[in-house]
Amino acid sequence: MIKNTTAYRVIAIISLFLFTGCIPDSSKWTPAGEPAPVKNMLGINAFEWDFLQDPNVPNEIESIQEGQMELIKSFSSVRHYLDWDKLEHAEGSFTFNPTFRGGWNLDLVYERCKQDGLTMLVCIKNVPDWLYNTYPEGERDPENIPAPYHSNLEDASSYEAMGRVAFQFAARYGSNKHINRALVRVNDKPRWKDDSVNKVKTGLNLVKYVECNNEPDKWWKGKKAQQNGRQYAANMSAFYDGHKGKLGKDVGVKSADPNMVVVMGGLAQGDLSFVKDMVAWCAENRGYRADGSVDLCFDVLNYHVYSNDNLAWYYKVYKSKRRGIAPERSNMADVADEWVAYGKTLKPALSVWVTETGYDLRKTSTQRAIPIGDKDVMDTQADWLLRTALLYAKHAVQRLFFYQLFDFDGEGQNSGTPYGKCGLVNRNSRRPAANYFVQVNRLMGNYRFTANLSKDPVIDEYTYQGKQIYVAFVPDEQNRRESYTLALPNVKEVAVYELERSGTNMRRKTQELVDGKMVLAVSETPIFVQPIK
């Protein structure tokens, strides 16, 4: 779900999740894979201009916007939406610092993120005008399939251009310091007098993860933009390693940096058959490795899910009565289990990421959060986003990125696109969701899910280095409250942490246990219990 750099664009998504009104029995459930640390679930989607001062403002020295950087540091990782035309404004003309279009200093963004400990996933998306202009005038769109018009879309060579830009990106920002510099190119011509110019740089070791396009299954855009699994596999084969090197030494991420991790583009529909078609294409066109496994052209599985009660909705359904729903009340968890289990069947086993999910604050959005009891929509957004993070941590998804850092709509809650007010921060402050993320990351960012003690209320155990934290909440959206007796044998005292809507510190109180037991008052906002002796 992204905004084109030149205009607002509505991305409509058919929900895959049927609202049943019941909560699955998870009391005997175990995850399909190895759970990741909670901090891996606290990622955010953002753009280069979210980091940098406007490079085109006269007499300004380009630099990081420190106030906004502090907001970005509320999260553990960033998925950077990077339009291809920033890297290659004309065919074969590559720019990074400054980018020919926009004048952005990508080096500075990635250097600062590494310095501040933020994991960076760069999603190279959309197509530049010199490529989409190969389409007839009425079919030109930046989100077209990244191959020239009338290409054979199941042939990896049709995507050679995207493989070339992937190579140049990986050569610069990857970890390979021994790359053949004769293969690396930049446009070193100034745009105007006294303009700074691009210089060849290699092996900067600033980006470990790169994603091949965003939502390649764009069904709402029509066949000019929508790929099926086989077509996208051909696309990825060029992007991954130049179709096993057959497209040239300067094509593909792995050709530049074998250590860079290539993430498949997050699917708008979490349909696993799309991935199975990709695997089948790879078996037919890339063959098998020495160990008998299919020679795949992706390192990470990836899809997008927005939890809502929409059975089907389409472009411009602004007044829909449909809305977002609490994460536990969709089948998000079941889909995660299916993907994680499938990833384990591949060789090598592939991890699963979810690179978009979120809730909108706009009152008429089909993905809106709702006020519940005395909580306003921002409180509910915070509850549901945090519980989404905990859900995926529990179900062994390895990374999660929320949509998105800032709103696209400005301040009004009733204007713009259905996803225009999904922001987790304001321009100069955190919203409750971002405060919750900071608080939880500080308390238990390194902890991993280990056991479910109760399905309703949810009582989950997380551990790190032999220590436990118990998370408790009601998986509902009715302002329901429950009591739960937590038994902790041999524990005499605990710290109970409650989230704060504002600020970055939780409320903490200590409580003595009676015969190793305590009664928890549980609501839809998670609380945290940590044994201390």
Looking at residue 504, the DSSP 8-state letter turns out to be S
Q: Please report whether residue 66 resides in a domain.
A: no
For residue 433, what are its two tokens?
């969701």
| C-alpha to C-alpha distance for 304 and 219, rounded to whole angstroms | 14
**300 — pLDDT class (breaks 50, 70, 90):** very high
Structural domain total, the chain: 2
Phi, psi of 132 (to 5 degrees): -70, -15
Give the mean model confidence (pLDDT) for residues 254-263: 98
Q: Please report whether residue 22 resides in a domain.
A: no
* Per-residue confidence (pLDDT) for residue 454, from 0 to 100: 96
Does residue 411 have a pLDDT over 60? no
Does residue 267 have a pLDDT over 50? yes
Does residue 413 have a pLDDT over 90? no
Does residue 160 have a pLDDT over 80? yes
Does residue 432 have a pLDDT over 60? yes
For residue 49, what are its two tokens?
């201009």
Q: Please report whether residue 440 resides in a domain.
A: no
Q: Which of 46-50, 172-176, 304-308, 480-484 has the lowest mean pLDDT?
A: 304-308
CATH number at residue 472: 2.60.40
| C-alpha to C-alpha distance for 285 and 476, rounded to whole angstroms | 47
More confident of the two residues 222 and 15: 222
| Domain's final residue, options 304, 329, 363 | 304
| Domain's final residue, options 246, 275, 304 | 304
The angle formed by the CA atoms of residues 153, 139 and 130, to the nearest 5 degrees, is 75
Give the closest residue to 343 by CA, choosing from 275, 269, 268, 262: 275
Q: Please report whether residue 5 resides in a domain.
A: no
- Three-class HEC string of 55-85: CCCCCCCCCECHHHHHHHCCCCEEEEEEEHH
Give the mean model confidence (pLDDT) for residues 364-388: 96
Does residue 316 have a pLDDT over 50? no
| Domain's final residue, options 275, 304, 333 | 304
Structural domain range at position 213: 76-304
Task: Give CA separation, 187 vs 35, 197, 466, in Å.
Answer: 44, 8, 54
* Per-residue confidence (pLDDT) for residue 206, from 0 to 100: 98
CB neighbours of 357 closer than 8 A, spacing ≥ 6? Answer: 304, 305, 306, 307, 388, 400, 402, 403
* Per-residue confidence (pLDDT) for residue 349, from 0 to 100: 97
Q: Please report whether residue 445 resides in a domain.
A: no
Phi, psi of 162 (to 5 degrees): -70, -35
Query: pTM for the full model?
Result: 0.92
Q: Please report whether residue 434 resides in a domain.
A: no
Q: Please report whether residue 51 resides in a domain.
A: no
More confident of the two residues 318 and 41: 41
* Per-residue confidence (pLDDT) for residue 318, from 0 to 100: 43
Q: Please report whether residue 210 resides in a domain.
A: yes
CB neighbours of 58 closer than 8 A, spacing ≥ 6? Answer: none
| C-alpha to C-alpha distance for 84 and 112, rounded to whole angstroms | 21
* Per-residue confidence (pLDDT) for residue 315, from 0 to 100: 36
Contact 288, 347 (CB under 8 A): no
* Per-residue confidence (pLDDT) for residue 480, from 0 to 100: 97
